[in-house]
Amino acid sequence: MSTPDPHSFSDPTQGVITHIRFRLRPDFTARVLRVQAHVRLDRPVTGSLFLDTRHLQIAQIRHADSDLAWSYDREDPILGQRLHLSGLDGVQEFSVESTSSQTAAALQWLEPDQTAGGRHPFLYSQCQSCSARTLFPCQDTPSVRFTYEAEIETPPPLTSVMAAEGLGVSLQGGRVVHRFAMPQPIPSYLFAFAVGNLVFEAVGPRTGIYAEPETIQAAAWEFAENEDRLRAAEALFGPYLWDRYDVLIMPPAFPYGGMENPRLTFLNGAYVQGDRGGTWLVAHELAHAWTGNLVTNATWEDFWLNEGATTYAETRISEIVEGVAASDLRTAGRAQTLLRDFDRLGPQSPMTRLRLPLAGKDPDESYSNIPYFKGLLLFRQLERAAGRERFDGFLKAYIEAFRFRSITSEAFLEFLEDRLPGVGQVVDVRRWIYEPGLPEGAADVTSSLFDDVLSVEEAYRRGELPSAQRVAGWTTTQQGVFLGRLLPAVPASDCAYFDRLFRLQETKDGALLSRFYELAVRSANREAIPRFEQFFSSVGRYQFHEPVFRALVQEPWSRELARPILERWRHRHHPHTVAAIERILVEAGV
Ligand SMILES: [Zn+2]
């Protein structure tokens, strides 16, 4: 399939990479990754082959016993450097030796004090969206898939893991060598590995947890229900085709909630909360095994196909594991967040379309809730129009038809019309995908748990502060949705009251804390700032911090606090997190 991808120099009509044999040698002193890659193509290539790279140092490229001619012949600030292999004469396999730069976007090298144990360094990769090219030359587009084998060489006692099948470990010349194979074809953005002081604990026949020894017990308890989630998901979406579903607990500096690396979800350690309150995120990352990893967006402009479908699939798993009311409450909270995002971006902003116009833009910089939450609401509308039973049949057929393939928004629409004729028109699906904003009423979601939040809010608006007894049974999601409804601001003393009421000093729920700190800044509740700084210093998830920094720079009283807080903790965070917060500060002139 050749889909013109605005974020790749590659041209799949020249030939497609189908398999790579890797040898990876992380150098913790020099902070570079040395890579030997033996690349196989789907057919003999004659003439030229274009590959994506970014700041790679290439030692040599060879075919059989001879060197191949190559050059970096184009360069772009977003795409990187085009590697041009030229003069090819029926070449179907070649090997490349390369070294990543010290600032490779796909790698984060953590000092021991940035880990839970504090004694060993930690390294991990994060290739989504366009960073696999900072590790090895590739066709770095989600429309090309390949299988791979890999060996990772590490100094003992460090262990390596991969989003692949583990084949065993051996000692070679004082180095530990782990071997892996990935028999299912993946797009480059799902290539992933990590190196650290890691142990494993099984929580079910196909499910387990990798974590530092200091967190393994707590994590194994937190995610003890993963096998149930896996079974629930299979009942909904068809057989799980990736063999195992393990979770790797990431050090705090990990900038995302989770990353759906196949077979091995990378999950932010902040979600080991001690109350199983954040386990919906596992449902989300697990759902990607079908929507995203199996049926993949052809380009990042079609990102809603990955994230909208997955957020919807997540709610269906959550309905089974947590109940409909809890799942719909979360959807109601997301609809609320979405409406605030629309306000911020402007009702006519093209960034509120589902299909995003990303040519000339960095997909990571354009990241927002829209593909997730607007996508979720669209899938709910489609389900409602088709009826649940028919829609479930459609989803299974969709996954079956496109598994291990990458598709565009147009291909989705064609399949929808083919299998559920007329449903697209009822929902006005093209408007959802190609136009900004949200159809009237689409954000209306009800749930008994949400109704309870609304009734407490109404009483508060009439001047009645809720008693501890009134909200005693509330979940942290209810607390967070309630605080979100109080935005933009309440009197500072009321904000402090809610802090005590929900015992926020004791909670480890990052999403709830983030919502509270945003409200606290907007409400000039100054005592909350040192706690926010402590939170910022210890939790890496960018999405928790972004709304708080936005509030900090917009409120005159707190404007000057934002820059010093970022500067004091910049070194603890992933470059993505720092860059994203930096953009908020610079746009505000701080
Ligand atoms: Zn996702």
Model pLDDT, residue 3: 60
CB 366 within 8 A of CB 514: no
Alpha helices, DSSP H, located in 448-509: 448-461, 476-485, 492-501
C-alpha 279 to ligand 1 mean position (Å): 14
97 is catalytic: no
Contact 403, 295 (CB under 8 A): yes
Distance 257 CA to ligand 1 centre (A): 9
- The Å distance, Cα 371 to ligand 1 centre, comes to 10
Q: Coil, strand or helix: which one is 364? A: coil
285 flagged as catalytic = yes
Strands, DSSP E only, in 262-320? 264-268, 295-297
For residue 504, CA distances in Å to 301, 459, 467, 514, 523 come to 38, 22, 15, 11, 16
- Hey, which residues does 45 pair with through a beta bridge? 91
Confidence (pLDDT) at 347: 82
**pTM of the model as a whole:** 0.96
Specify the pLDDT at position 1. 45
Q: 302 C-alpha vs ligand 1 centroid, how far in Å?
A: 13
The answer to whether residues 123 and 28 touch, using CB atoms and an 8 Å cutoff, is yes
Helix (H) / strand (E) element for 46: namely strand 32-53
Q: Give the per-residue pLDDT at 4.
A: 84
Which is the catalytic residue, given 372, 398, 517, 542? Answer: 372
- How many residues does this entry show for the chain? 590
| CA of residue 306 to ligand 1 center, whole Å | 7
Q: What is the CA(308)–ligand 1 centre distance, in A?
A: 8
Rounded alpha-carbon distances, angstroms, from residue 556 to 97, 297, 531, 590:
53, 42, 20, 11
pLDDT for 367 equals 87
What is the reported pLDDT for 277? Answer: 86
Question: What spacing in Å lies between the alpha carbon of 454 and ligand 1's midpoint?
Answer: 29
Cα of 313 to ligand 1 centre, how many Å? 10
Any residues with CB less than 8 A from the CB of 128 and at least 6 apart, and which? 189, 190, 259
Written as tens digits, the pLDDT of the chain (590 aa) is 456 899 999 999 999 999 999 999 999 999 999 999 999 999 999 999 999 999 999 999 999 989 999 999 999 999 999 999 999 999 999 999 999 999 999 999 999 988 989 999 999 999 999 999 999 999 999 999 999 999 999 998 899 999 999 999 999 998 999 999 999 999 999 999 999 999 999 999 999 999 999 999 999 999 999 999 999 999 999 999 999 999 999 998 899 999 999 999 999 999 999 999 888 999 999 999 999 999 999 999 999 999 999 999 999 999 999 999 999 999 999 999 999 999 999 989 999 999 999 999 999 888 899 999 999 999 999 999 999 999 999 999 999 999 999 999 999 999 999 999 999 999 999 999 999 999 989 999 999 999 999 999 999 999 999 999 999 999 999 999 999 999 999 999 999 999 999 999 999 999 999 999 999 999 999 999 999 999 999 999 999 999 999 999 999 999 999 999 999 999 989 888 999 999 999 999 99
Give the span between the Cα atoms of 413 and 580, in whole angstroms: 33
pLDDT at 315: 97
User: Long-range contacts of range 519-522, CB-CB < 8 Å, 24 or more positions apart?
Assistant: 519/483, 519/484, 519/486, 519/487, 519/489, 519/490, 519/495, 520/495, 521/548, 521/551, 521/552, 521/555, 521/558, 522/487, 522/488, 522/489, 522/551, 522/555
Determine the distance separating the centroid of ligand 1 and the alpha carbon of 503, expressed in angstroms: 30
Q: Among the options 212, 260, 285, 322, which is catalytic?
A: 285
